[in-house]
Chains A and B, each alone.
Chain A
Amino acid sequence: MKLPVVHFTQEQEQFRLEVRAFLQRHLKEGTFRTKCDSWLSGSDPVFSKLVAEQGWIGMTWPQEYGGGERSTIERYILTEEFLAAGAPVAAHWFADRQTGPLLLRFGTEEQRQLFLPKIIRGDCFFAIGLSEPNSGSDLASVRTKAEKVEGGWLVNGAKTWTSNAHDAHYMVTLVRTAPYDQVSKHSGLSQLIIDLHAPGVTITPIPYLTGERHFNDVFFENVFVPDAMVVGTIGNGWTQGLAELAFERSGPERILSTFPLLNELIIELKQAYDTVGLATASKLLAEMWSLRNLSIGVAQVLEEGGEVAIPAALVKSIGTKFEQKIPEIARLLVATYPRLQAERAFDRYMAESILHAPGFTIRGGTSEVLYGIVAKGVVAQ
């Protein structure tokens, strides 16, 4: 598996500084407070609007929809800076990362015209409806049903573990448009855009370990979805969904969820002039550096339209283990009493990291599922 080495250009370095200055200004002004795992737990529509005003939502999309036509690498830099600063980006995250690219690839012109400019302006958020009760990682077992009716589809069923559905306006939902077939489980799946404010949609929270609301149950009872809201081809939902996963799995959000804690750890160790602690912490930095190399390499291949399913699965499985490791090493180097309400940043980031960490290796494909994908890939080579 050979990935390209990416050297950032002068302009890209400059862009990084621009993003950094924006974040520093808003941190100072108190617009947001640094948080670990902010891409999932930091939903703030007001902040998303500020990001949109900078032209940083949909920044790689075509100009005709209001996008910036910038490169995947620039978006990578933006994402890294947001995560390093622990900025609350969850509200627009899924639309920016997944829905936009999906519509650009498979959506109708009407769908693009309707949704992309609104997403770019920070006025329209999406959730991703994949998992269902009793079908976590086994998406082929999806049972939510859409039946053909005059002018559209009637949806019945339920989605679960749906991040940020309560803040979202729409959900790209994987549904069964043909009866479940034991032999070809992947056929008969389709993607529909469901208006989360439509009659028949009920959204109820599933509190996370922190007590906060990120997850939701979403129930559909005779929800009407017009034909115009079918994404791509009926029956092609599995293939379309797989294309999304590469974007989902290999980004910096699989490496940097607990970076604010690592940063704070180094600040504490420096203040204590603890060179032994710093030597240990340098191992974490070496891991971060080596994962970044891989992850940026995948981003470059994505930019060039190459095949990245296996390296993306690798980045996610190794990256999320790294994110989990940070609190476990940090607590042995600096004494802490983790508390979500703590005044001391180290204690607060520690609490956020510990309580969020179990989810890292689950969301977006469990490590076990990813190991299977990678192993099959290398055996087939």
Chain B
Amino acid sequence: MSEMLEFVTEVVEKIYKDLITKETVDLLEEGKWATTLWQQLVDNELLKVAITEQYGGANGDIADLLALYQLTGYYAVPAPVLEHTLANFILEYVRLTPFESITTISFNDKQMLTMTNGKLDGNIPNVPWARSAQQLVTFAQEGEVLKLIAVGLAQASIVQATNLAAEPRDTVSFQQAEIIAQTEINEQQLQKLIKYTTAAKLAALSGALDKAFQLSVRYSKEREQFGRPIHRFQLVQQHLANLAGEAAIATAAIENMAGALVNETERYEVAFTSIRLDEASKIVATSAHQVHAAIGVTYEHSLQHYTRRLWAWREEGLTTHYWQKQLADDLLQVENVWSWMTTK
């Protein structure tokens, strides 16, 4: 990360720290838009960091974005920061123009939208923040050709729904909708886009995971039972050690994956990170709730904002199920697994 982007990350974190509390995340549950937060990010031009200077950005790369998404997860940011910035990053990647107004993105392994004579038809479920966004970036099939498109959401019919964490995940339907921008993409680009979007989700997930760990440590120091803080009990220590281990593994996995994506050496890092963080989510959510005991399973404590995100996010986009199948196919072609994993 460049010095400027390091600075940007610090500023973003400061805004999150100041503006995001348990109460502001709770507002999301009531369907309220985080007006102040979004305005601050727009005013400080923080949503542009990963786009090029040409469009007023800071030329950030995917690793910079992933660092931002870790923060997004860590603070359970109740706004489409990830979706908007990733959509624009990807538009530039395929040489389309990024948007100023709120943009969202949806990539699934099943292609549901079709284009005929330049018009879009079909529907996609679980589109993040569709109700608040002006544009959607996604794939569409036109005959034999796969396209990356941007389409206006004003023409869509939107049925509101949420994920396990009460984040907006709407069903979006199009009927003969006009496309704003489109470009044909090849297999190589498709693979890259799939990896970028999975990596983005995993980075956010690792942030939420780290927060659940930090909350557990804090709680174990505050909460007393049988006359002493609970972190003094060996069985609680075992939970804390497991949490620390999973958090360290997740951080290292994200760093290594980010490095591989930036250096264009990615082979299996996204798949491995997905599989390992899936496991980590399970362990962390379980142990964090066990340490917090009854308070943790109520709306009263903020732990739920993070564990519910872990459970929601691990099922979104391309999931571990998909990546395991990919690896199985790869392994059939691999001559020697040790060399495959250790030699360039």
- A residues within 8 Å of B by Cβ? 1-3, 5, 7, 13, 16-17, 20, 80, 84, 259, 262-263, 266, 269-270, 273, 275-276, 278-283, 285-291, 293-294, 297, 311, 314, 317-318, 368, 370-372, 374-379, 381
Asked whether, in the complex, the Cβ of A282 is within 8 Å of the Cβ of B234, the reply is: no
Asked whether, in the complex, the Cβ of B279 is within 8 Å of the Cβ of A317, the reply is: no
Contact with A along B204-217 (1 / 0, CB 8 A): 00000000000001
Whether B251 is near chain A, meaning CB under 8 Å from some CB there, is yes
- Distance in angstroms between the alpha carbons of A17 and B339 in the assembled complex: 9
- Distance in angstroms between the alpha carbons of A378 and B237 in the assembled complex: 10
Whether B150 is near chain A, meaning CB under 8 Å from some CB there, is no
Q: Identify 22 residue pairs between A and B in the complex whose beta-carbon atoms are under 8 Å apart, listed by A's number.
A: A1-B247, A1-B248, A3-B248, A5-B256, A16-B343, A84-B338, A262-B337, A275-B329, A279-B324, A279-B327, A281-B331, A283-B279, A288-B341, A289-B253, A289-B341, A293-B249, A318-B245, A318-B249, A372-B241, A374-B240, A379-B217, A379-B240
- Distance in angstroms between the alpha carbons of A282 and B268 in the assembled complex: 10
- Distance in angstroms between the alpha carbons of A381 and B263 in the assembled complex: 33
A188 to chain B, nearest CB (A): 28
Asked whether, in the complex, the Cβ of A287 is within 8 Å of the Cβ of B276, the reply is: yes
B151 to chain A, nearest CB (A): 35
- Within residues 197 to 239 of chain B, which ones have a CB less than 8 A from any CB in chain A? 217, 220-221, 231, 234, 236-238
Asked whether, in the complex, the Cβ of B259 is within 8 Å of the Cβ of A263, the reply is: no
- Within residues 294 to 344 of chain B, which ones have a CB less than 8 A from any CB in chain A? 324-325, 327-329, 331-332, 337-339, 341-344
- B residues within 8 Å of A by Cβ? 217, 220-221, 231, 234, 236-238, 240-242, 244-245, 247-249, 251-253, 255-256, 259, 263, 268-269, 271-273, 275-276, 279, 324-325, 327-329, 331-332, 337-339, 341-344
Which residue of A289, A314, A376, A377 contacts B276 across the interface (Cβ within 8 Å)? Answer: A289
Asked whether, in the complex, the Cβ of A286 is within 8 Å of the Cβ of B241, the reply is: no
- Distance in angstroms between the alpha carbons of A3 and B248 in the assembled complex: 8
Asked whether, in the complex, the Cβ of A275 is within 8 Å of the Cβ of B328, the reply is: yes
Given the known inter-chain contacts A2-B251, A285-B327, please indicate yes or no for A314 contacting B332, CB distance below 8 A: no
Cβ contacts under 8 Å, B344 to chain A: 13
- Distance in angstroms between the alpha carbons of A273 and B329 in the assembled complex: 10
Cβ contacts under 8 Å, B272 to chain A: 285-286, 289-290
Asked whether, in the complex, the Cβ of A290 is within 8 Å of the Cβ of B240, the reply is: no
Closest chain B residue, CB of each to CB of A293: B252
- Distance in angstroms between the alpha carbons of A371 and B217 in the assembled complex: 14
Which residue of A13, A317, A378 contacts B343 across the interface (Cβ within 8 Å)? Answer: A13
Asked whether, in the complex, the Cβ of A286 is within 8 Å of the Cβ of B332, the reply is: no
Secondary structure at chain A's binding surface: helix, strand, loop or mixed?
helix
Cβ contacts under 8 Å, A294 to chain B: 248-249, 252
Give the 3 A-B residue pairs with the shortest CB-CB distance, closest first. A375-B237, A282-B327, A286-B275
Asked whether, in the complex, the Cβ of A279 is within 8 Å of the Cβ of B325, the reply is: yes
B143 to chain A, nearest CB (A): 30
Asked whether, in the complex, the Cβ of B256 is within 8 Å of the Cβ of A374, the reply is: no
Asked whether, in the complex, the Cβ of B245 is within 8 Å of the Cβ of A374, the reply is: yes
Given the known inter-chain contacts A7-B259, A293-B256, A375-B231, please indicate yes or no for A317 contacting B327, CB distance below 8 A: no
Cβ contacts under 8 Å, A371 to chain B: 234, 237-238, 240-242
Closest chain A residue, CB of each to CB of B337: A266
Asked whether, in the complex, the Cβ of A374 is within 8 Å of the Cβ of B276, the reply is: no
Cβ contacts under 8 Å, A1 to chain B: 244, 247-248, 251
A76 to chain B, nearest CB (A): 11
- Distance in angstroms between the alpha carbons of A367 and B331 in the assembled complex: 33
Asked whether, in the complex, the Cβ of A279 is within 8 Å of the Cβ of B328, the reply is: yes
B215 to chain A, nearest CB (A): 12
Asked whether, in the complex, the Cβ of B343 is within 8 Å of the Cβ of A17, the reply is: yes
Given the known inter-chain contacts A80-B342, A273-B332, A283-B324, please indicate yes or no for A290 contacting B251, CB distance below 8 A: no
Cβ contacts under 8 Å, B236 to chain A: 375
Cβ contacts under 8 Å, A262 to chain B: 337
A260 to chain B, nearest CB (A): 10
- Distance in angstroms between the alpha carbons of A129 and B198 in the assembled complex: 49
Cβ contacts under 8 Å, A280 to chain B: 324
- Distance in angstroms between the alpha carbons of A290 and B280 in the assembled complex: 11
Given contacts A17-B343, A282-B275, 9 further A-B contacts (CB under 8 A): A1-B247, A7-B263, A262-B337, A273-B332, A282-B324, A283-B324, A318-B245, A379-B220, A379-B240
Given the known inter-chain contacts A5-B255, A288-B341, please indicate yes or no for A311 contacting B234, CB distance below 8 A: no
* Residue from B251, B329, B331 whose CB has the most chain A CB atoms within 10 Å: B331
A138 to chain B, nearest CB (A): 14
- Distance in angstroms between the alpha carbons of A288 and B338 in the assembled complex: 11
Asked whether, in the complex, the Cβ of B341 is within 8 Å of the Cβ of A378, the reply is: no
Asked whether, in the complex, the Cβ of B275 is within 8 Å of the Cβ of A263, the reply is: no
B288 to chain A, nearest CB (A): 13
Asked whether, in the complex, the Cβ of B343 is within 8 Å of the Cβ of A259, the reply is: no
Cβ contacts under 8 Å, B324 to chain A: 279-280, 282-283
A240 to chain B, nearest CB (A): 26
Asked whether, in the complex, the Cβ of A374 is within 8 Å of the Cβ of B241, the reply is: yes
